[in-house]
């Protein structure tokens, strides 16, 4: 009850921190897609490069977030950005690489070889093949990777409050340090809500971007023979 009152009194602060939170995750995921998808496509050309890249991305994701923030402080201090928005975005960007690169790589390399041969045989150039066939078919799987990355990083961004990046994590950090359950619960509640809402939004987007044939539109063979 106290918490609801607190929420009611602080709607403006909640809104402001939600916007901060979304801007960190949104910008970082946007950048992660711009880097991860091309990397995922490129490494389909070379199995050795693929295993190295995926290995490195997997190592990055095992670094505890609080340690990653700590590691970045001395490095980014060189350009005067040791704490705040920039390290938070970089951390989310790094953590997003594995799901996005791996899903892109898997999706592209799992495109039916027969489709690739048909595309070549009909006279598509490699880039036409990528644009007209492989990427459209890979989108649902790539989007699934983006969803994983978004949900995961909404949680990680909450911790970025400790390096002064703002966001909903501030409620949690202050709730702990001030032994104030109202702030703690408010922070946890809105981080969870944000994650759920984002996931549903991305699921809807994924359906929209999926070629009609692979979604529920596809009926069985309408006629035998």
Distance from C-alpha of 169 to C-alpha of 175, rounded to nearest angstrom: 10
Nearest residue (CB) to other proteins, 58 versus 209: 209
- Decide if residue 112 touches other proteins (CB under 8 A): yes
Which x/- pattern over 199-218 shows residues binding other proteins (rule: CB under 8 A)? ------------xxxx--xx
Give dist(CA 178, CA 170) in Å, integer.
Answer: 12
Q: Does the protein bind other proteins through residue 128 (CB under 8 A)?
A: yes
Nearer to other proteins, 88 or 111 (CB): 111
CA distance 56 to 219: 42
Cα separations (Å) of 210 from 140, 169, 182, 203, 214? 6, 34, 42, 11, 7
Structure-block tokens of residue 2: 């106290």
Dihedral of alpha carbons 114, 216, 149, 23, sign: positive
Decide: is 74 part of the binding site for other proteins (CB under 8 A): no
Taking the alpha carbons of 81, 84, 86, 92 in that order, is the dihedral positive or negative?
positive
- Interatomic CA distance for residues 102 and 55, integer angstroms: 10
Nearer to other proteins, 9 or 128 (CB): 128
Assess 48 for contact with other proteins (CB under 8 A): no
Q: Which range touches other proteins (CB under 8 A), out of 81-89, 111-119, 150-158, 186-194?
A: 111-119
- Nearer Cβ to other proteins (177/222): 222
Of 88, 220, 108, the residue nearest 155 (C-alpha): 88
Considering only 29, 137, 148, 161, the residue that binds other proteins (CB under 8 A) is: 137
Q: Which of 4, 13, 45, 118 binds other proteins (CB under 8 A)?
A: 118
Q: Of 7-15, 53-61, 117-125, 193-201, which segment contacts other proteins by CB under 8 A?
A: 117-125
Residue numbers at the binding site for other proteins (CB under 8 A): 112, 114-115, 117-125, 128, 132-133, 136-137, 211-214, 217-225
């Amino acid at each position: 009850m106290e918490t609801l009152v607190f929420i009611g009194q602080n709607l403006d602060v909640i809104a402001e921190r939600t916007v901060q939170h979304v801007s960190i995750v949104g910008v970082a995921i946007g950048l992660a897609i711009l880097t991860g998808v091309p990397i995922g496509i490129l490494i389909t050309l070379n199995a050795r490069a693929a295993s190295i890249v995926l290995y490195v991305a997997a190592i990055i994701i095992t670094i505890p977030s609080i340690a990653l923030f700590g590691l970045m402080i001395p490095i980014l201090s060189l350009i005067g950005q040791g704490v705040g928005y920039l390290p938070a975005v970089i951390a989310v960007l790094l953590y997003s690489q594995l799901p996005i690169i791996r899903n892109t790589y898997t999706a592209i390399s799992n495109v039916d070889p027969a489709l690739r041969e048909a595309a070549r045989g009909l006279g598509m150039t490699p880039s036409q093949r990528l644009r007209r066939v492989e990427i459209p078919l890979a989108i649902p799987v790539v989007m699934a990777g983006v969803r994983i990355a978004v949900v995961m990083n909404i949680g990680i961004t909450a911790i970025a409050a400790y390096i002064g990046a703002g966001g909903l994590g501030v409620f949690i950090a202050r709730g702990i340090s001030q032994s104030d359950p109202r702030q703690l619960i408010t922070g946890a509640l809105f981080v969870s809500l944000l994650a759920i809402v984002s996931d549903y939004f991305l699921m809807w987007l994924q359906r929209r971007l999926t070629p009609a044939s692979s979604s529920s539109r596809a009926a069985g063979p309408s006629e035998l023979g």
